[in-house]
Amino acid sequence: MNIFILEDNLIQQQALKKMIKSYLEQHHLTSHRLIVSSRPEELLMQITQLTDPNLYFLDIEINIATKAGIDLAKQIRKRDPLGLIVFVTTHSEYMPLTFKYKLRALDFIDKALVPSEFSTRIQECLHLAQGASSYPQVDFFAFKNKRTSFKVPFADIFYFETTTINHRLHLVTKDSDRYFYASLNDLIKQDSRLFKCHKSYLINPQNIKEIDRTNRLAYFPNNEHCLIARGKLKTLINKFENIHNN
């Protein structure tokens, strides 16, 4: 488990860090990394371990940026869909935004709580995160280059497509989409289960629900679809039939 803390108040920052270390030592647990920062962009750059569970304690207001923690959480969700996010703040009025942006926060802890209750809530989050780290491993598709880094459950991927901007790709998944810079060839080298069905599309055949042979279209849930090159149609049909027969 990796733990990240975003807090710009030095006293509160050190108090939370001490509280977490004490809990880990008391329960004979280890954190692969414990990263503390007052700068959202710096913390985001530290999210490089894509295979271990990540737990984030985020203050919402950083310096004069009143929603910096919320904005950071949105970026974390793109990069780490299964990360556990805990908001530690005095701004309880921002709680509705966590639902609006579908941030799936594990908890929303008010700094104004009495010390004993505050400590208990932090410990409960650590306990839940430790339990999550023992769950069966999710099959992730993880990608990193000089310009981007992210991971998504492979089973959620529908397809990658090129855009009108050179080397800018569009990833469409079950619940969301994102844009990043890479090439389709870079991605197919990453995971051979992906199939390049067209010069503009790299797809996950496991999520195809229907193939329109006449119009050469592969359909995914939510009516998402992409083109199939004439020379790739037969191969894709065979893959589709093998997946469904098995």
Each residue of 233-245: pLDDT tens digit? 999 999 999 988 8
Sheet architecture: strand order including 177-181: 177-181, 168-173, 157-162, 201-203, 195-198
173 and 214, same domain (yes or no): yes
Q: Which of 45, 51, 73, 41 is nearest to 1 (CA)?
A: 51
8 and 37, same domain (yes or no): yes
- The pLDDT mean for the chain works out to 90
126 and 8, same domain (yes or no): yes
Residue 201, domain extent: 140-245
pLDDT tops 60 at residue 148: yes
The pLDDT confidence band at residue 18, using thresholds 50, 70 and 90, is very high
Average pLDDT over residues 93-105: 88
**90, 111, 132: which is the final residue of a domain?**
132
Which CATH number fits the domain that encloses residue 43? 3.40.50.2300
71 and 149, same domain (yes or no): no
For residue 169, give the amino acid letter: L
124 and 18, same domain (yes or no): yes
The pLDDT confidence band at residue 132, using thresholds 50, 70 and 90, is low
Q: Which of 175, 180, 150 is nearest to 165 (CA)?
A: 180
What is the model's pLDDT at position 92? 84
Average pLDDT over residues 6-17: 95
Average pLDDT over residues 53-80: 91
The pLDDT confidence band at residue 136, using thresholds 50, 70 and 90, is low
Percent of the chain residues topping a pLDDT of 90: 63
Percent of the chain residues topping a pLDDT of 70: 95
What is the model's pLDDT at position 11? 95
Average pLDDT over residues 155-176: 94
Average pLDDT over residues 223-235: 96
127 and 63, same domain (yes or no): yes
The pLDDT confidence band at residue 182, using thresholds 50, 70 and 90, is very high
- Please enumerate in sequence order all residues whose Cβ is within 8 A of that of 171, keeping only pairs 6 or more positions apart, or say none: 152, 157, 159, 160, 177, 178, 179, 180
Q: Which two tokens stand for residue 11?
A: 């006293």
167 and 87, same domain (yes or no): no
Q: Which residues of 105-131 are buried (b: 16+ CB within 10 A; e: fewer)?
A: bbebbeeeeeeeebbebbbebbeebbe
pLDDT tops 70 at residue 125: yes
In whole angstroms, give the CA distance from residue 165 to residue 44.
25
Return the higher-pLDDT residue of 135 and 222: 222
Which CATH number fits the domain that encloses residue 189? 2.40.50.1020
The pLDDT confidence band at residue 50, using thresholds 50, 70 and 90, is low
Average pLDDT over residues 23-29: 86
74 and 45, same domain (yes or no): yes
Average pLDDT over residues 195-206: 97
Other C-beta atoms lying within 10 Å of the C-beta of residue 217: 13
pLDDT tops 90 at residue 39: yes
Count of the separate structural domains present in the chain: 2
**132, 166, 197: which is the final residue of a domain?**
132
Q: Which two tokens stand for residue 199?
A: 């010069």
pLDDT tops 90 at residue 151: no
106 and 145, same domain (yes or no): no
Q: Which of 134, 130, 133, 94 is nearest to 110 (CA)?
A: 94
Average pLDDT over residues 56-77: 92
pLDDT tops 70 at residue 134: no
Average pLDDT over residues 172-198: 91
Sheet architecture: strand order including 217-219: 210-212, 217-219, 225-227
In whole angstroms, give the CA distance from residue 118 to residue 115.
5
